[in-house]
Structure 1
Amino acid sequence: MSDFLNLALNVGTVAVALAVLLCSWRLLKGPDIADRILALDTLYMGMVALIILLDMRWDTELLFEAALLVAMLGFVSTVALARYITRGDVVE
């Protein structure tokens, strides 16, 4: 890998890890449930970004599938939580 790509991966990994930490803090200390659901959704996207960055660093294709799986589970859980908060049930 080139030096520039290494630097970009390092900066990206640190930035996304910081974003994940801040989202975790908002998830724990959020003032209401809507903020916590939004923080959880953003946390999933941050985790997907971290997995993809690690995949690029390690030069493997296995982690792309893991990132896709985390993204799908994150979407489904966010929709389920939002429906539970607004309606009181997930499935009608």
Structure 2
Amino acid sequence: MFGVSLIDAAVVGSMFAVGLAILLAMWRLVRGPTVPDRILALDTLNVTAIAELMLLGIHLRTAVYFEAALIIAMLGFVTTVVLSKYVIRRDIVE
């Protein structure tokens, strides 16, 4: 009747919620009192960016954003492991 389905409205609403989560994670990244807090905020940003891309792909009904989300997931995992290893040992290469 109105031209907008319930699924589309839920996806758009979820995009706004994930956008708010991105802003809060960015705030923690900038204001984090310790380095582990900043690493955790960076990992949270990776996860929320993946969620935002997935929701955008669902909203636009295209698969291109799913592939971009997969690339961000792989890079985010490697980044988190490397940063955590650096914080623990102060050395990246063994």
TM-score range, shorter chain: over 0.9
- Cα deviation for residue 2 of structure 1 reads 5.4
Determine what percentage of the aligned residue pairs are the same residue. Answer: 48
Please name the residue that 2:8 is paired with.
6
C-alpha separation in 2, matches of 1:20 and 1:78: 17
1:26 aligns with 2:28: yes
1:91 paired residue number: 93
TM-score by length of structure 2 reads 0.94
* Aligned-pair Cα RMSD in Å: 1.2
Name the TM-score, length of structure 1 as normaliser: 0.96
Larger radius of gyration: 2
Report the alpha carbon displacement of residue 89 of structure 1 after superposing the two structures with TM: 1.2
Structure-to-structure mapping, 1:1-92, within 5 angstroms? 3-92=5-94
Where do 5+ consecutive residues of structure 1 fail to align?
Answer: none
One-letter identity of the residue aligned with 1:55: G
In structure 2, what residue type is equivalent to 1:59? R
Post-superposition shift, 1:11?
1.0
CA distance in 2, matches of 1:62, 1:10: 18
Structure 1's consecutive aligned runs of 4 or more residues displaced over 4 angstroms after TM superposition are: none
